[in-house]
Amino acid sequence: MKRFASKAALVTGAAAGIGKATATRLAAEGADLYLADINREGVEALAAELAKEHGVKAFAGSFDAADAESCKQLVAAAAEALGRLDLVCNIAGIQKWDHFAQITDDTWNRLVAINLNSVFFISREAMPLLEQTRGNIINVASVAGLTGIAYNAAYCASKAGVIGLTRSVAVEYASRGVRCNAIAPGGVKAGQAANPIPEDVDFGLITPLSPKTGDMCEPEEIAAAVAYLGSEEARFVTGSVFTIDGGQLAS
């Protein structure tokens, strides 16, 4: 399918994991892309690969999701390169396991800045462009934003904020033709090595939230949901929180 032919998308966190899978899926469906990540080499390599393989325009730029000005400049750069914006995919994010009483100020502020503040700044700056194209925003939240997960207070708070932001924007802009949805993945096969669980935790508090399917999700499965929500097939879907969690929250 070429659901995104003649469309332009901004994808953050595009150097790896869900962001990379999403960029790859959108390019395969015809979207021109602006790929952003703090890993500039990673997104530049991916942009060149996708442009060659799928014949789309693909630009790349580095940005720091923890910095408000960098987020604002990113949208301006994407708009200049692409000439329009139809889809904004806020995927950049981090997680850090910590005992609640051991969460430092820096850890709290960094998780909130990257996971929540960047979504706000990028979405706000992009909104005038999305109104012009009757485009949409897709935010990657987490099941952690819908339930309490031990040793994840900062992450849970930031992702709950993303869900609240998503629903508020959806209500405010529905009549203006801009949709806003969130995807709430559970366990995903991406980034685990960089985010180890401390050894001195009570695993009995964590294991009940494991996927009931016995396996974790592939990034490409999240990307497929992004492609659906961003397409005209989902024209009546806004303010939704789409869980992809292998039944984690079903019981």
Q: What does DSSP assign to residue 215?
A: S
pLDDT band at 193 (very low <50, low <70, confident <90, very high): low
Alpha-helical runs (H) found in 15-152: 17-28, 40-54, 68-82, 105-112, 118-133
Is residue 74 pLDDT above 90, yes or no? yes
Burial status of residue 178 (CB atoms within 10 A of its CB: 0-12, 13-18, 19 or more): buried
Whose structure tokens read 């940005």? 63
138 CA to centre of own chain: 7
| Residues 118/132, Cβ–Cβ less than 8 Å | no
Respond yes or no: is residue 155 known to be catalytic: yes
**CB-CB neighbours of 14 under 10 Å:** 32
Domain ranges of the chain: 8-244
Is residue 82 pLDDT above 70, yes or no? yes
Burial status of residue 221 (CB atoms within 10 A of its CB: 0-12, 13-18, 19 or more): middle
Query: Of residues 151, 155, 173, 228, which has the active-site annotation?
Result: 155
pLDDT of the residue at 207: 85
Give me the amino acid identity at 174: A
Encode pLDDT of 43-61 as tens digits.
Answer: 999 999 999 999 999 999 9
Of 143, 106, 109, 235, the closest CA to residue 181 belongs to: 235
9 CA to centre of own chain: 13
Given CATH 3.40.50.720, say whether it is the number of domain 8-244.
yes
The structure's pTM equals 0.95
Task: For residue 242, give the 3-state DSSP assignment.
Answer: strand
* Average pLDDT score over residue span 225-233: 98
Tell me the pLDDT of the chain averaged across its residues. 95
User: Torsion angle of alpha carbons 196, 200, 202, 206, nearest 10°?
Assistant: 0
Distances, alpha carbon 141 to alpha carbons 18, 58, 75, 174, 248, in Å: 12, 25, 20, 20, 15
* Average pLDDT score over residue span 28-34: 98
